[in-house]
């Protein structure tokens, strides 16, 4: 998805700031995904029994990814609307 997003930002007539924003948010989404994966692996490794704090950590990490993706989508919406 990031490859398509970066490709589109280079093809569309966006400002340099708009391109930078899209690329930075794409990298931020990947970083959030990496952190989420690390947290999930650590919680899964800690034991097989159900742990409320482990579930909370996994949910919070997933929410971080979702919020980062929403921010990227919102930036795209603003930039596309500016082109119209």
Task: Kindly list the structural domains of the chain, giving each domain's residue range(s) and its CATH number in brackets, ordered by start.
Answer: 2-83 (1.10.287.3610)
Q: Report the pLDDT value the prediction gives residue 40, as an integer from 0 to 100.
A: 94
List pLDDT tens digits, range 10-52: 999 999 999 999 999 999 999 999 999 999 999 988 877 888 9
Q: pLDDT band for 1, please (50, 70, 90 cuts).
A: confident
Residue 12 DSSP code: S
Q: Report the pLDDT value the prediction gives residue 48, as an integer from 0 to 100.
A: 77
Q: Report the pLDDT value the prediction gives residue 46, as an integer from 0 to 100.
A: 83
DSSP string of 13-69?
---HHHHHHHHHHHHHHHHHHHHHHHHHHHHHHT-SS--HHHHHHHHHHHHHHHHHH
Please tell me the pTM assigned to this model: 0.88
């Amino acid at each position: 998805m990031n490859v398509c997003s970066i490709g589109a930002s280079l093809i569309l007539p966006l400002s340099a700031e708009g391109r930078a924003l899209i690329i930075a948010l794409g990298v931020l989404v990947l970083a959030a995904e990496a952190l989420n994966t690390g947290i999930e692996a650590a919680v899964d490794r800690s034991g097989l029994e159900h742990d409320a704090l482990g579930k909370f950590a996994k949910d919070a990490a997933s929410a971080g990814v979702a919020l980062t993706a929403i921010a990227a989508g919102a930036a795209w919406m603003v930039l596309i609307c500016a082109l119209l």
